[in-house]
Every structure is written in C-alpha cells, then in structure tokens.
C-alpha cells in the first residue's frame, strides 16, 4: 500500500510542526526566569514546633537504643541482615622443592657461567657424547631443564627433582 504524495506532504508538515512546537517549549523553559521558593512560608503544624526547639537549642537527639532496629536490619542490604565479616582463609604456601647438591653429575659437567645483564648462559660439557654445550634458561639436556644460572653454578630440574651443579674451582 502506497500513500499519495499529498498525504506524505501533509504528514511531513505535521511532523515538522510538532518538532517546532517542542523546540519552542524547550527554549521557553530554558529562558524562563527561576523563581525561588518562599522560605518565609510557615512549615506544617507538626514540624513548626520542632523547628522552634532546634533554633532555641532545646532539642536533644533521641537515645541510640531507638536506632537498634536499624543496626539489626540494615536498610541498604538486600537480605536486611547485619554485616558479618567472612571467615579468613588461610593460604599455605607449598613447601619449596628440595635442591639436591651434586658436585659433579654423571652426564654433564659445568665449565663456566656467563652473566651479562639479564642474559645468563651456562657452558657445559656433555660427558656422554663428549660435546661442549651452551645453554640458556629453559634449554634441555638429557631430560634436565636449566632453570637458574648464577656466579657459583647452575640449577637443573627434571620433573619435581632439582639438581645443583657447582662451578669447579681449579
């Protein structure tokens, strides 16, 4: 179903007229001067006596016991139950994996360590294949992974077992 061009034109004019009316009302509201409420107007009968007591300095706060229900049933909690701190959770660190001191491994021998800034390299000798090796952290040799290099030696790990190769003093 299509509308005739005259009908579409009439609908557009009606829509445009409505937009102009809304814009005019908005401008009127923005430019209208603000009228402050009259503060001299007396309060309601019940509250006026309270205001006189406060201004005269004779008003005292009610005792705290009157607010006991507010403490027992807090307003801003969904369950309306008092806050109770959760029980602290004790987290125990796992025991460190013991390091086995090995002065000389049967498969490799440590020849030197090189430490330049963050870069750490271990120079090893593969006794089984009679080859020199240069390893960095994370490299493997005979199933052992190099995990630490320091000035006195290296630490290798195979599963849960750790082994320390000390630098030979000659």
> What is the average pLDDT across 78-87?
82
- The tens digit of pLDDT for each residue in 32-42 reads 988 877 777 66
Residue whose C-alpha is closest to residue 109's, from 78, 133, 90: 133
State the pLDDT at residue 103: 42
State the pLDDT at residue 25: 95
- The tens digit of pLDDT for each residue in 94-122 reads 887 776 644 446 788 889 999 998 899 99
Specify the residue for token string 């660190």. 93
pTM above 0.75, yes or no: no
Strands (E) in 30-150, as ranges, are 99-102, 108-116, 119-126, 131-136, 140-141, 144-150
- The tens digit of pLDDT for each residue in 50-78 reads 566 566 666 677 788 887 887 777 778 78
CA 85, CA 82: separation in Å to the nearest integer?
10
> Which CATH number among 2.30.110.10, 3.40.50.150, 3.40.50.300, 2.30.30.830 corresponds to the domain 99-166?
2.30.30.830
SS3 25: helix
Give the start-to-end residue ranges of the domains of the chain. Answer: 99-166
State the pLDDT at residue 104: 45
């Amino acid at each position: 179903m299509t509308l005739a061009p005259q009908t579409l034109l009439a609908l557009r004019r009606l829509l445009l007229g409505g937009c102009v009316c809304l814009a005019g009302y908005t401008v009127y509201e923005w430019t209208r001067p603000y009228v402050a409420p009259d503060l001299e107007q007396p309060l309601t009968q019940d509250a006026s006596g309270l205001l006189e007591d406060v201004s005269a300095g004779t008003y005292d706060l009610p005792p705290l016991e009157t607010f006991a229900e507010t403490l027992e049933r807090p307003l801003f909690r969904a369950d309306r139950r008092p806050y109770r701190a959760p029980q602290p959770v004790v987290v125990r660190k796992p025991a460190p994996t013991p390091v086995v001191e090995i002065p000389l491994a049967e498969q490799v021998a440590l020849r030197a360590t090189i430490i330049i800034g963050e870069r750490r390299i271990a120079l090893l000798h593969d006794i089984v294949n009679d080859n020199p090796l240069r390893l960095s952290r994370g490299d493997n040799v005979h199933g052992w992974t190099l995990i630490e290099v320091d000035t006195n030696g290296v630490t290798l790990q195979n599963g849960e077992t750790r082994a320390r190769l000390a630098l030979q003093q000659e």
